[in-house]
A and B are shown apart, each in its own frame.
Chain A
């Protein structure tokens, strides 16, 4: 494939002598400072994410071939039951731990909260949307910091659909954590609405069973001066595809989107991130980091940022970094930045996939630390930057342990 100016593509076209050695990348590029031959600021990506068709009706989408921009990196054959098949839309069992000013209830699809943050961009998302019986509504109110942890496990091997709507009322503040474990074959949509001045952290942790398949679309709409911190940590599961799209359509909205993933042999972990700057003076930061280890470990990151004509004063930066620990692993990393106004505070992107930094290993080994231990320290440190953003010590150390476990589980780190 050919990448247009302003994008960095690391994919099958990347020449690599050793299998899986998808290395290289670019240094941060500052588009505000670069002249462009057409005289404008627009950099036209492969396909404009904002122009994608949206609908809640799966029948409105053409049959998925696997060549569509939304699907071309995914193992479509294994996803057929979730894309085209019948889904069980009954309520998904979960356990809850929450503080008082968060209410949780099941609501019908006619409820105004449904479809308040976005609509499906592809068929599997629409399939889930049209299949759920009731949506789980999580509503945060008050001004004190609230918290909720929702744990789901053992969803079984049959294809299922789920729908969740999180609403953070004006000036409310909360941390919502999803803990996903056990077996699953799930396609779901999660809507996140932040009313004016709300501060919300959403954490989704994927530690599924080894054969689990999880497709998820997270849609977020950010109110005036509201702030969303969105963190996804994907460690276990056969296929995890978690796509996040955020609309900053009120002034002063601010999002931080973080992702950490550890991909082991034969695993596929994918994330397509879209940030849509609609209103003026909005800010976005996107940082995804992944470590890959083992034969056919595969990660995909596509980061689209659109700065619309109306979004003067936008400040945006997105980056993806991958650490390839062994031969046979592959990371695709595709940032797309589209700028329709000249009046921005900053916009940039960076993407790099590489092997261990030999100088880091040397430094650690020169202090007596064995090579294996040194590699472990470097990987843990690499992903810790994201995990530390969660801001909950107990959860952070649990994840640090899980990452450690994955490293050890795969054995010789060479």
Chain B
């Protein structure tokens, strides 16, 4: 069984005012097939955790480790991590002018598998995924994320999740900015990907509404760069009712 283990992770960024510590000792273990929700107030470091795992150069690891089945990910380049089986659905997907979605997907698939996918089966697979995500087929010929609405960008991220088949995926606020219908469609896509490949999921969100469609096995409350509390799905409901005040008071005392 595959395991993604984050232990005692410390991360800083460089700002105009100097080095700023953001993650202050994160411990988190995700097993294959598990769904972990990470909730927490704005600025608590959720995206920082996601980007650090994926290897964004802006974030400096001060200490700790991230291993996938015992293999240290922090020593690998961004693309090597992806090829090891990690996937990050971004909070703000990037536009790539002049590069079509179909070209992008084919290039990514080829890089991950080490060989080009068999053309017919691949086209069929893309078409089916796009249909179930209610993406018009013209999207395949549009440039990556260029002129996509917020919701379309998120669907495109989940399309990649389905097609690229990672072992672990971090979804950074994939639910933000989606209306109810889109939320359902995107959630179905995530559930489908999990049913098909048994991947482990780290679901970063502000709201419990996505958790009605994607039932988490664990909920972690993220405050001031570390996990402040952990529990089962019932913790999410408590957060919905009570908010983060309880944790924020603790953090400001500490």
Interface residues of A (CB under 8 A from B): 357-360, 362-371, 373-374, 377-378, 380-385, 388
Contacts and interface: CB of A to CB of B under 8 A. Distances in A.
A385 B100 CA distance: 11
B88 A368 contact: no
A377 B82 contact: no
A388 B112 CA distance: 29
Given A362-B56, A362-B57, A367-B108, A378 B96 contact: yes
Given A362-B54, A365-B78, A370-B79, 11 more contacts: A360-B94, A360-B96, A367-B82, A367-B104, A369-B108, A370-B111, A371-B79, A374-B79, A377-B104, A382-B97, A388-B98
Contacts of A385: 97-98
A383 B82 CA distance: 27
A370 B55 CA distance: 13
Contact of A363 (B93, B103, B143): B93
Contacts of A370: 79, 111
A33 B239 CA distance: 49
A370 B80 CA distance: 8
Contacts of B87: 366
Nearest to A369: B111
A171 B107 CA distance: 44
Contacts of B107: 369, 373, 377
B58 to A, nearest CB: 8
B54 A366 contact: yes
Nearest to A386: B98
18 contacts: A359-B94, A362-B56, A363-B94, A364-B108, A365-B79, A366-B78, A366-B82, A366-B87, A366-B88, A367-B108, A368-B108, A369-B111, A374-B79, A377-B96, A377-B103, A380-B98, A381-B98, A383-B98
A358 B111 CA distance: 19
A393 to B, nearest CB: 13
Interface string B91-128: 00111111100011001100110000000000000000
Contacts of A383: 98
Interface residues of B, number: 29
Contacts of B88: 366
A370 B96 CA distance: 16
B122 to A, nearest CB: 15
Nearest to B160: A367
A363 B99 contact: no
A259 to B, nearest CB: 15
Q: Which 9 A-B pairs have the closest CB atoms?
A: A381-B98, A384-B98, A365-B78, A368-B82, A367-B108, A381-B99, A368-B112, A363-B94, A368-B111
B138 to A, nearest CB: 16
A88 to B, nearest CB: 41
Given A373-B111, A381-B99, A368 B94 contact: no
B203 interface: no
B77 A367 contact: no
A167 B215 CA distance: 69
A358 to B, nearest CB: 7
Contacts of B93: 363
Contacts of A373: 107, 111
A70 B9 CA distance: 59
B57, B79, B103: residue with the most chain A Cβ atoms closer than 10 Å: B79
B79 A369 contact: yes
A358 B56 CA distance: 9
A245 B32 CA distance: 64
B90 interface: yes
B71 to A, nearest CB: 16
Contacts of B90: 363, 366
Contact of A365 (B82, B97, B160): B82
Contacts of B143: 381
Interface in B52-97: 54-57, 77-79, 81-83, 87-88, 90, 93-97
B96 A381 contact: yes
Contacts of A368: 79, 82-83, 108, 111-112, 164
